[in-house]
Structure 1
Amino acid sequence: MKNIYLYLAAITIIAWSGCKKNDYAEGTLSPIIAVVDMKALYKGADVTLTSDKLNGAKEMVGVVISDATSGNAPAGVLVVQNNRRNAIRGIAIELGAAAANYIPGDSVMVQLTGATLTKTNGSMRLKGISEAAVTKVASGHSIAVQAVPSGRIKATPDVYESTLVTISSAIIEPEPQQGETYAGDKLVNDGFGKVTLHTEAGANFASAVLPFSANFTGIPITSIANADTTIQVWPRTINDMFALAVIKPSPIIIAGYLTDPSGGDANQEYIQLIATRDIDFAATNFSLVTCNNAGTNPAPANGWAQGGLRSYKINLTSGTVKKGQLFYVGGNKNIWGLGTTDISNAHWISSTQYSTVDGAGFGTATGNLLANSGNVAGMAIFAGITVDATSIPLDLVMYGGSGTVYSPGPPEVGYRITNTDYYTTINPVTRQNQAFYGSGTNTSKLTLPATGNFTQLGGVYDAVTGRWTTGRTVTSIPLSKTSALSEIETDKATKIQN
């Protein structure tokens, strides 16, 4: 009978994984509650769980994500997450020595009646759960891993605490000394916030050498000390860290753009860029490519080099800029379109009449260099003036709606990406290559700019490591016919450090 019960319980875990808050089976309330609903019962004071408080439920189901065997898990704590009502949530269960009986991927059923929902040092936990109240019903269950920016974890810790997350393309601050190990607390920065990577001295990987840059996977746990709240991410094993290759810094970074000038768009749109080193464009050529995907289109077989009305290239082959200097590429030198403030005193590297002149190598003359509505659009910087389907940009920005811009193939086609604050060439969850916008986790895009506004991208870029210590965020700057250049060259613009 016990084996039959365990089999049925395993089926129950799967069948009920997507049930709604109030589940009914032949008129009876579901005996299982989602973790998201159980955690919502906590209002700042301990809660003794009863069937009434649990809306008729008596138990929860989930998958074990903690790994006591590695030595890097809170002592006597079993961490379980589940995905019910389209919400992945986790909970730490104080189980004592019995927590070591379970490994990641075990499916468990936990009896809740009489347990206490509480917070210990800021971390939400279940207390009063006996060893007999936890039943393993299966092994080898897949574990959902969420790739989450650290800033989002810090902003909504109750959502991500006690779940398995990956913080992508992050660096250790300060840069590790030669031979420095994982042991202790290390500050991790992914450009969107900073969290603490915590490794117990007794963990079996504590003496391993700490990488400078990696995708760091682990379980977020809240910790409060001296009234300060800290998010600690506890990796489970050495395999939770995936070291990344050193990124070559980009000499040019996209810092802003105007997509919707006053009056007509023809020859009035422009892109603001910033140099991360001194550049003589006559000696070292670059090119800027924009893409516009209006209407319903197939994925571009030649990527950024598709040409026609899909992409337009401008070569940067003359002029100079200094490290940290803002400069411009685009049409006429007006801040907000024809008849507005002349900004020819800004540092222009290319002023191209794109509405009457074809692109340099590809791209049909167009009155709309930068889309201001509709499907996803973008811009990218390339080394040299030769760009084809295999070319990898130095930096890129995508913004706008959706549209068909990527196909997994074979052959795989679309707009190639590089490692930036928003994109990564290695999937942080699967650790597989993802070389295009739209592939894997490379789906981030900025919103369409507000009508008549300049889009300023503010962040901090490390010119030595090629990493974003603060990722770019959008500030929309309303413009008028008399706006001054200083209004788009503010202290909120992207900054270069080192």
Structure 2
Amino acid sequence: MNKFIQHSILLVMVVMVLGGCDKTGNFPGADVSPYIAIFDLRNLYKGNDLTLSAGSMGGYTGISGTVVSDHRGKNLKSGLLMVQDKLRLNELRGIAIDIGEDAAQYIPGDSVTVNLSGGVMKRVDGLLQVSGVNPSAVVKVASGVAIPVNRVPSTYILANPDEYESTEIVIVKGSFDPAPVAGETYSGDKVVNDGFDNIPFKTLSTATFANDPLPGLANFFGVIDYSADNAGNYTPHFRIRNASDIRTLSSTVTQIPVVITGFMADVEGTPDPNGEYIQFLATRDIDFSQTPYCVVIHNTNSGYQPTGVPVNGWAMGGSRSYKFNLASGTVNKGQYFYVGNSVKLINGVGSTSIANAKWIVSRNTQTTPGDGLGNANPDLLLNGVSLYTDGIAVFQGTTIDKNSIPLDVIITGYNGAILNIAQGAGLRIGNTDWYDVVNPVTLEEQPFYKQGSNTICLLRPSPANVGWFYKLGGIYNARLGRWVKSRSQGTVDLEKTSTLDDLEKEGPVIITGGGTEVRKPTQVIN
């Protein structure tokens, strides 16, 4: 009887559900959205002009999204309304819609719907856009919508501009190449480098900011457009929309005279108490007796004293940090030089001598304390699989304290007692290819490693006793005073018979006058 009652109730429920169904398959209160994701809209274009309708758009009639075009600065092609959304797969895409003079009524942050029926999607001067749309088809539904910051490296834009068309993007830490001269303005065709690649940068002479002076370093918000070359091919360029798209980070660019390019932390075989050394590259001619520098090595080995967070920063002393003063000798622009072991061997006992290299400081750190900082220590550059934080930093002058800011710095490892912001305790960083004293996007101060966006670090040397030299690569542009290709960690597997050429034959390179890339330290062309 109970089963009969249960089956009867189930039958009644099924009949009620079936009876309440709309034969068309549409459920009351659940109308299908008329708006197609811009990602899907763009994918409908196959190279030929496409008339848009509910039929060609799979039942959709338009789009909804956020405006990113701004004609107040008079630097965009007139008539184009640029709208973006992330409705499909969380993929940001944009589309330009030609509505004539009415496009100037809308500004970034306006939320709009656009009925595209009757419009034609096609490429015009390289840019995918919809034409033939009546301005009345655009309906503003809100304003002041926040547009998430979308940082895009220039390499991504150049490789696949279609993904970024008609969306707001930001080029972070951009500088002009060549470096601006006094009084140079935005007007015309320029080139900007963001540490990844060079991208063309266009400002119309009619732009309201065309006569503003160029900054040394800045974040640039804007959109992608295209230029035609002599063969009629279209290549992407970047346009800011108005002066508020410029976030100046520095009015000038300071050249770093000494950059860290590699290090030997653990030679092949054991023991290795006097085998460590660091490789540097000079970006200009230096007489260290006239302009001295110092190199400091810091580590967080739990057995080294004093323990805890570095309350004195790089100047901790004891067995935590060790200083080499670079106060004599000379080096030429583009030349590698070395600091480290007294025996000047490339890969430990029984290996090739590299005494013919440019050594600025050479000493046995196992028996000799640092120059005013650090106890004698046989193992400055730690190795193994530990992830504890260690670092190498270069400072101007030979005296440092807890507030000293390095010219260049690299960090290996991420863990350990390394940062306490409340105490102002940590390893300070400088403005390099990896680190920023001020967050380039949020503009918040972040003077320490592991603070804010300063999280990049190298892998710790591992496995032990194999003789790996860690080469950092990259391209430093001496004219611009910055890295235009950021460093990355590479490994040179040295043998006992390896030679100096194995350390110096590959990157980083220095670009000098005329755009020449110099790969050998003795071949700098001015």
Q: If the TM-score is normalised by the length of the shorter chain, which range does it land in?
A: 0.7 to 0.9
Preserved CA contact (<8 Å) 2:368 2:375: no
The answer to which of 303-312 and 74-83 deviates more is 303-312
Cα deviation, 1:5-38, whole Å, max 9, x if unaligned, reads: xxxxxxxxxxxxxxxxxxx999987665544444
Query: Distance in 2 between the 1:190 and 1:392 partners?
Result: 23
Q: Which runs of 5+ in 2 are unaligned?
A: 1-26, 513-525
Report the counterpart of residue 487 of structure 1 in structure 2. Answer: 502
1:252 counterpart (250, 258, 261):
258
Secondary structure (helix, strand or coil) at the match of 1:381 reads strand
Q: Is 1:395 aligned to 2:401, yes or no? A: no
2:297 matched residue in structure 1: 290
Question: Which of residues 338, 349, 354 is equivalent to 1:328?
Answer: 338
Q: Deviations over 1:50-94 (max 9, x none)?
A: 668767765543322211122112211112233454444333222
AA aligned to 1:269 is E
SS at match of 2:472: strand
The answer as to whether partners of 1:355 and 1:368 remain within 8 angstroms in 2 is: no
Which residue among 59, 67, 71 is the counterpart of 1:64? 67
Q: CA deviation at 1:246?
A: 1.9
Whether 1:146 aligns to 2:150 is yes
CA distance in 1, matches of 2:267, 2:50: 57
Larger mean Cα displacement after TM superposition, 331-340 or 446-455: 446-455
The separation in 2 between residues aligned to 1:56 and 1:414, in whole angstroms, is 59
CA shift digits 1:334-358 (9 cap, x unpaired): 2233332221221222334445655
| Farther-moved stretch of structure 1 (197-206 vs 227-236) | 227-236
Q: CA deviation at 1:492?
A: 2.9
Secondary structure in structure 2 of the residue aligned to 1:93 = strand
Question: Is residue 309–residue 366 contact of structure 1 (8 Å, CA) maintained in 2?
Answer: no
Q: TM-score with structure 1 length normalisation?
A: 0.81
Check if 1:183 corresponds to 2:193.
Answer: no
* Aligned-partner residue type, residue 97 of structure 1: E
Cα distance change of structure 1 residues 154 and 444 upon mapping to structure 2, 3 Å threshold: farther
Distance 1:346 1:175, change over 3 A: closer
Render the CA deviation track for 1:220-256: whole Å, top value 9, x for unaligned: 2243432444321111111222342323322211122
- Equivalent residue letter for 1:329: V
The equivalences for 1:128-277 within 5 A come to 128-225=132-229, 226-243=231-248, 244-264=250-270, 266-277=273-284
User: What's the counterpart of residue 73 of structure 1?
Assistant: 76
Amino acid across the alignment from 2:93: R
SS in 2 for 1:69: coil
* Secondary structure of the structure 1 residue equivalent to 2:497: coil
Change in 2 beyond 3 A, CA 1:468/1:50:
same
Instruction: State the distance in 1 between where 2:179 and 2:286 align.
Output: 28
In the TM superposition, what is the alpha-carbon distance from 1:102 to its structure 2 partner? 0.7
Q: Normalization by structure 2: what TM-score? A: 0.77
**2:358 alignment counterpart:** 347
- SS of 2:157 mapped into structure 1: helix
CA distance in 2, matches of 1:224, 1:448: 47
Amino acid at match of 2:256: S
Contact in 2 for aligned 1:123/1:223 (Cα 8 Å): no
Residue ranges of structure 1 left out of the alignment (5+ in a row): 1-23
Larger mean Cα displacement after TM superposition, 52-61 or 283-292: 52-61
- Number of residue-to-residue matches in the alignment: 473
SS at structure 2 position matched to 1:151: helix
Aligned to 1:384: 397
Task: Please state whether the residue corresponding to 1:242 is helix, strand or coil.
Answer: strand
Q: What is the distance in 2 between the residues matched to 1:344 and 1:453?
A: 19
Distance 1:207 1:298, change over 3 A: same
2:313 and 2:167 map into 1 onto residues whose CA distance is 37
* C-alpha spacing 1:282/1:170, structure 2 compared with 1 (3 Å): same
Which whole-Å CA distance do the structure 1 matches of 2:33 and 2:459 have between them?
41
Question: Does residue 416 in structure 1 map to residue 428 in structure 2?
Answer: yes
Superposition RMSD in Å: 3.6
8 A Cα contact 2:478 2:510, kept in partner = no
* Percent pairwise identity: 43
What is the distance in 2 between the residues matched to 1:404 and 1:48?
A: 62
CA–CA distance in structure 2, aligned partners of residues 354 and 167 of structure 1: 44
